Chain A
């Protein structure tokens, strides 16, 4: 049996000072259900992660919504969580555990300033060996990966900047994007250092925001409001938590999650029409493109050069403007699915990738620690 994304929605994005994260998730959930043509009483599965450190966020979210699910998933593998939730939901629906799974996320990192680099916390447990050194989390770990990639393959800061510039062009076509003014490669290189070799404009935004995704069985998908976006393949993996334990700083777990997703879909990277990958930092994108097999190891710098991922380019990627320019509330992964589904429905207006039939969504979590991949398609 096939399983589909039937509804997607964002909450308020950007700066949302007057709302709670439960409220934002509730509003996104109702909007995603309305998008699908479903109601809260149809939901029999719940998935969420984060919840600003609360105990059992899935139980809280379900209770808040008035849902008593028979399938629940609070897997937290950082920013890849929600893409992983979609994979888990696919198998739960296939096995008959449930029919309608609601995935939600929201955070208010911008309003609450919880992402200030200051608070790195008590240095206990295994991470005490990392926290005592003042490596800013998480950007410092990504900077280590970037420098290693530069050493092994000759990748240059200009290659990283290509991603930031192309992504901003997409954001210019998305009225909901937080930053929309065009930037140049020179702008990126001239922006201040955060952690070398990453500049300010190599780093994602810090915004408020959230979203919801509704996953349904093939039977339910048939008579809903939107054309079903089929989950053709999915995969997930994690390889470490702390950056010192990452087996190879230039190979992300997307190599494992992507292989599994493509195998289960019976498709190859070159068949994908539009790609949405978590761009926490520009280096995240380069490493992810290699891991997923869109190019070979070390080839990502050349692959993105000449604005190939920009609007009108050969490889449309992060068409909403990404975490770099559209929205980044801490665990961005859910937005890769939302945008991929919208692209396949053909409802993206000026940023629509013409004729898109197959899409890939990839979440990354932690410090290149986890990955989850979906291959999606329309009829």
Chain B
């Protein structure tokens, strides 16, 4: 069974194009200066329409995580694996998979950084020193 893969559209293509090019890019609102994720055509913080794409640090901390045992069928071969909500330094939260770490070693608030890998390439995260 094929795993779900991102289907870029007019709003999300710049994000996936950046990932394919080796960068983690987010939108930032030129009016209130806050970052926006997921990509969209207006700022949900202030209603501004003037958004720019910026390359971000890729650093953050684990806001929460779960070790998935009973996975969707197309992911079951990979279980157990760690899905996490990472809070980036820029203030947005992104759902991701944690790699290069034993599930039992993962903690909330653990420092992590982005690692772009896989086919299609996706923004995974791994522990950082």
Q: Do A and B come from one complex?
A: yes
| Residues of A near any B CB (own CB < 8 A) | 116-126, 128-137, 139-140, 143-145, 147-148, 151, 192-198, 242-245, 249
Q: Distance (Å) between the CB of A4 and the closest chain B CB?
A: 40
Bound together, the chains give a CA A197 to CA B4 distance in angstroms of 25
Cβ-Cβ contact count across A and B, 8 Å cutoff: 120
Residue pairs across A and B with Cβ atoms less than 8 A apart, 19 shown, are: A116-B73, A118-B74, A120-B72, A120-B74, A129-B37, A132-B4, A132-B122, A133-B95, A134-B97, A137-B72, A140-B66, A143-B66, A147-B65, A147-B108, A148-B108, A192-B69, A242-B95, A243-B85, A244-B93
In the assembled complex, B7 has its CB within 8 A of some CB on chain A: yes
Closest A-B pairs by Cβ, 5 of them:
A118-B73, A134-B75, A143-B66, A123-B4, A151-B108
Judging by beta carbons under 8 Å apart, are A194 and B70 in contact? Answer: yes
Q: CB-CB < 8 A to B68: which residues of A?
A: 134-136, 140, 195
Bound together, the chains give a CA A120 to CA B73 distance in angstroms of 9
Please provide the chain B residues from 55 to 74 with a CB less than 8 Å away from any CB of chain A in the complex: 63-74
| Residues of B near any A CB (own CB < 8 A) | 1, 3-7, 9, 12, 37-38, 40, 63-75, 78, 80-81, 83, 85, 93-97, 103, 108-109, 122
Q: CB-CB < 8 A to B72: which residues of A?
A: 117-120, 134, 136-137
Bound together, the chains give a CA A131 to CA B74 distance in angstroms of 12
Judging by beta carbons under 8 Å apart, are A124 and B95 in contact? Answer: no
Q: CB-CB < 8 A to B9: which residues of A?
A: 124-125
Q: CB-CB < 8 A to A131: which residues of B?
A: 4
Q: CB-CB < 8 A to B75: which residues of A?
A: 134
Determine which residue in B4, B40, B66 has the highest number of CB atoms from chain A within 10 A of its CB, and name it. Answer: B66
Q: Distance (Å) between the CB of A227 and the closest chain B CB?
A: 45
Judging by beta carbons under 8 Å apart, are B67 and A134 in contact? Answer: no
Q: CB-CB < 8 A to B108: which residues of A?
A: 147-148, 151
Bound together, the chains give a CA A135 to CA B74 distance in angstroms of 11
Residue ID in chain A nearest B103 by CB atoms: A196
Q: CB-CB < 8 A to A249: which residues of B?
A: 63-64, 85
Judging by beta carbons under 8 Å apart, are A129 and B4 in contact? Answer: no
Judging by beta carbons under 8 Å apart, are B65 and A193 in contact? Answer: no
Q: Distance (Å) between the CB of A349 and the closest chain B CB?
A: 36
Judging by beta carbons under 8 Å apart, are A136 and B70 in contact? Answer: yes
Q: Distance (Å) between the CB of B68 and the closest chain A CB?
A: 5
Residue ID in chain A nearest B4 by CB atoms: A123
Residue from the list B3, B37, B65, B85 in contact with A134, Cβ < 8 A = B3
Bound together, the chains give a CA A196 to CA B84 distance in angstroms of 12
